[in-house]
Amino acid sequence: MKRLLFRFLGILALLALIELAFGWLVRNERGRDMVRRFNKSILNPWMLRHAGHGKWYASVVETTGRKTGATYQTPVVADPVVDGFVIPLPYGEDVDWLKNAKATGHATILRQDLRYPVDRFEELTAVEAAPVLTASRRLSYRMTGVDRFLRVHLEDSDGHLTVGG
């Protein structure tokens, strides 16, 4: 039992170290670009096999290309809130999926095998997003240096619908 506890604590420490290293990397432009390229070419294709399905933590945002008209899928973390989602923007607002969503005025979030059409894109600071995020999410985002967020609203929402969490 003692050995299992030490192994568990070791894994937790390793995960915390990885999260801190990621946070350190994305705090400067060169590190952020390096992480972005790695994610785009290696991590995102793997994530798209799992994101949006079952109880996997990541969701998928589907957008229509503003120039091509093609449908694009990007894995994101979409935290459910009343009448929509809050999505962290670790690379800022200058990302293709967000430009596409703003250009067309809508997107679709695939989360836990359900599709949610969304619109009304509000960019938030960490302070503005904090009240609707869980304490563990706020801590994780702070540790990784995420200070920009996007709040999206469910299309045709009456403001009282809560997305299942």
Q: Rounded CA gap, 78 and 97, in Å?
A: 14
Examine residue 163 and state whether it is found in any structural domain, yes or no.
no
Examine residue 161 and state whether it is found in any structural domain, yes or no.
no
Report pLDDT for 12: 62
Examine residue 46 and state whether it is found in any structural domain, yes or no.
yes
Report pLDDT for 37: 76
Q: What is the pTM of this model?
A: 0.75
Report pLDDT for 22: 58
Examine residue 159 and state whether it is found in any structural domain, yes or no.
no
Q: Give the range of the structural domain holding residue 17, as residue numbers without chain letter.
A: 2-154
Report pLDDT for 80: 95
**What CATH number has the domain bearing residue 140?**
2.30.110
Kind of pairing between the strands at 71-76 and 79-81: unpaired
Residue 124 β-bridge partners? 149
12 φ, ψ to 5°? -60, -45
Q: Rounded CA gap, 35 and 51, in Å?
A: 19
Q: Rounded CA gap, 42 and 47, in Å?
A: 9
Examine residue 164 and state whether it is found in any structural domain, yes or no.
no
Mean pLDDT by 10 residues, the chain (165 residues): 75 62 61 72 81 90 95 95 94 91 96 95 96 93 90 76 47
Examine residue 162 and state whether it is found in any structural domain, yes or no.
no
Report pLDDT for 94: 87
Q: How many distinct structural domains can be found in the chain?
A: 1
Report pLDDT for 105: 95
Examine residue 130 and state whether it is found in any structural domain, yes or no.
yes
